[in-house]
Amino acid sequence: MEPKRDVPTEFLKPYNPAESEPEIIALWDKSGYTNPDTMVRDGLTKPDAEAFSIVLPPPNVTGTLHMGHAAMLAVEDILVRYARMNGKRTLWVPGTDSAAIATQSKVEGEIYKKEKKTRYDLGRDELMKRIDAFVEESKNTIINQVRAMGASLDWSRYAYTMDEPRYHAVMTAFVRMYEAGLIYRGDRIVNWDPNLQTTVSDDEIEWKEETRPFYYLKYGPFVIGTARPETKFGDKYVVMHPDDERYKGYAHGQKLELEWINGPITATVIKDEAVDMEFGTGVMTITPWHDATDFDIAERHKLEKEQVIDDKGILLPIAGEFAGMHIKKARPAIVEKLKHKGLIDHIDETYVGRIATNSRGNGIIEPQIKKQWFIAVNKKVKFPYPPRPTSGRVEAGGTERTLKEWMREAVESGRVKITPERFEKIYYHWIDNLRDWCISRQIWFGHRIPVWYRGDPSRHGEAGAVEVHCSVEGPNDNTWERDPDTLDTWFSSGLWTFSTLGWPEETADLKTYHPTSVLETGYDILFFWVARMVLMSGFLLGDVPFRRVYLHGLVRDGQGRKMSKSLGNIIDPLDMIKKYGADATRLSLIIGAQPGNDLKLSEDRVRGYKHFANKLWNISRFVLENTTDVEMGELNDADRALFKEAQDLAVQASKNIDHFRLDLAADSIYHFVWDRFAAEIIEESKPIMKSDDASAKASRARLLYELLTLSLKLLHPFMPFVTEAIWQRLPQKDAKLLMVARWPVNG
RNA sequence: GCACCUUUAGCUCAGUUGGUUAGAGCGUUCGAUUCACAUUCGAAAGGCCUCAGGUUCGAAUCCUGAAAGGUGCACCA
A419 touches strand B (CB under 7 A): no
* pLDDT tens-place string over residues A404-459: 988 988 888 888 988 888 888 888 888 888 888 889 988 888 899 999 998 765 65
A687 touches strand B (CB under 7 A): no
A309-328 burial: b if 16+ Cβ within 10 Å, else e: beeebbbbeebeebeebebe
Residue A2 has pLDDT above 50, yes or no: no
Q: Which of residues 211-250 of A touch strand B (CB under 7 A)?
A: 224-228
- Predicted pLDDT at A317: 92
Residue A3 has pLDDT above 70, yes or no: no
E strand spans, A582-684: 599-600
Q: How far is the CA of A271 from the C1' of B12 (A)?
A: 56
Contact call for residues A687 and A642 (beta carbons, < 8 A): no
* pLDDT tens-place string over residues A312-338: 889 999 988 999 999 888 989 999 999
A13 touches strand B (CB under 7 A): yes
A354 touches strand B (CB under 7 A): yes
Amino acid in position A472: V
- Predicted pLDDT at A459: 59
Torsion sign (Cα): A450, A456, A460, A462: negative
**Lowest pLDDT segment from A206-210, A663-667, A716-720:** A206-210
* pLDDT tens-place string over residues A383-392: 765 455 444 4
A667 touches strand B (CB under 7 A): yes
Task: Give a three-class secondary structure readout of A370-411.
Answer: EEEEEECCCCCEEECCCCCCCCCCCCCCCEEECHHHHHHHHH
**Within 7 A of a protein CB, which nucleotides of strand B?**
3-6, 11-16, 24-27, 35-42, 72-77
A73-107 burial: b if 16+ Cβ within 10 Å, else e: bbbbbbbbbbbbbbbbbbbbbbbbbbbbbbbbbbb
A272 touches strand B (CB under 7 A): no
- Tell me which DSSP letter residue A369 carries: E
Residue A96 has pLDDT above 80, yes or no: yes
Contact call for residues A653 and A671 (beta carbons, < 8 A): no
Judging by DSSP bridges, how do beta strands A95-96 and A159-160 pair with one another? parallel
For all residues of chain A together, what is the average pLDDT? Answer: 87
Which residues lie below 8 Å from residue A380, measured CB to CB, with a gap of 6+? A400, A401, A402
Phi/psi at A280 (nearest 5 deg)?
Answer: 55, -130
A666 touches strand B (CB under 7 A): no
- Predicted pLDDT at A4: 45
Phi/psi at A279 (nearest 5 deg)?
Answer: -85, 130
Q: How far is the CA of A312 from the C1' of B13 (A)?
A: 50
A70 touches strand B (CB under 7 A): no
Rounded CA separation A320/A539 (Å): 49
A433 touches strand B (CB under 7 A): yes
Given pLDDT bands bounded at 50, 70 and 90, which one contains residue A9?
confident
Q: How far is the CA of A652 from the C1' of B19 (A)?
A: 21
Nearest-nucleotide field for A593 (CA, C1'):
B13
- Predicted pLDDT at A394: 42
| Dihedral angle computed from the Cα positions of residues A177, A182, A183 and A185, in that order, rounded to the nearest 10 degrees | 150
Contact call for residues A355 and A208 (beta carbons, < 8 A): yes
Rounded CA separation A368/A192 (Å): 6
Which residues lie below 8 Å from residue A114, measured CB to CB, with a gap of 6+? none
Name the residue with the least CA to C1' distance from nucleotide B34.
A1
Residue A663 has pLDDT above 90, yes or no: no
Helix (H/G/I), strand (E/B), else coil: A567? coil
A544 touches strand B (CB under 7 A): no
Q: How far is the CA of A594 from the C1' of B66 (A)?
A: 27
A311 touches strand B (CB under 7 A): no
The DSSP secondary structure of A28-63, one letter per residue, reads HHHHTTTSHHHHHHTTSS-TTSPEEEEE--PPBTT-
Contact call for residues A207 and A353 (beta carbons, < 8 A): no
Q: Which of A287, A219, A225 is nearest to A259 (CA)?
A: A219
Chain centroid offset of residue A717 CA: 23
From residue A643, alpha-carbon distances to A560, A579, A617, A708, A710 in Å are: 40, 35, 20, 11, 10
A117 touches strand B (CB under 7 A): no
Q: Which of A716, A689, A683, A687 is nearest to A702 (CA)?
A: A689
* pLDDT tens-place string over residues A457-498: 565 555 556 889 999 999 988 889 999 999 998 899 999 999
Q: Which is higher by pLDDT, A566 or A696? A: A696
Nearest-nucleotide field for A287 (CA, C1'):
B77
Q: How far is the CA of A291 from the C1' of B77 (A)?
A: 9
Amino acid in position A255: K
Rounded CA separation A255/A264 (Å): 13
Average pLDDT over residues A659-667: 87
Q: How far is the CA of A606 from the C1' of B46 (A)?
A: 25
Helix (H) or strand (E) holding A561: none
Q: Which of residues 584-643 of A touch strand B (CB under 7 A)?
A: 592, 594, 597-600, 604-605, 608, 611, 614-615, 618-619, 621-622, 625
Amino acid in position A23: E
At what angle are helices A17-31 and A582-590 packed, to 10 degrees? 90
A353 touches strand B (CB under 7 A): yes
State chain A's maximal CA–CA distance in angstroms.
112
Q: Which is higher by pLDDT, A513 or A209? A: A513
* pLDDT tens-place string over residues A214-237: 889 999 889 998 888 888 888 899
A479 touches strand B (CB under 7 A): no
Nearest-nucleotide field for A612 (CA, C1'):
B37
A350 touches strand B (CB under 7 A): no
Q: How far is the CA of A73 from the C1' of B43 (A)?
A: 40
* pLDDT tens-place string over residues A589-632: 888 888 888 888 878 788 888 888 888 999 999 999 888 878 88
Nearest-nucleotide field for A12 (CA, C1'):
B36
- Predicted pLDDT at A391: 43
Average pLDDT over residues A342-362: 79
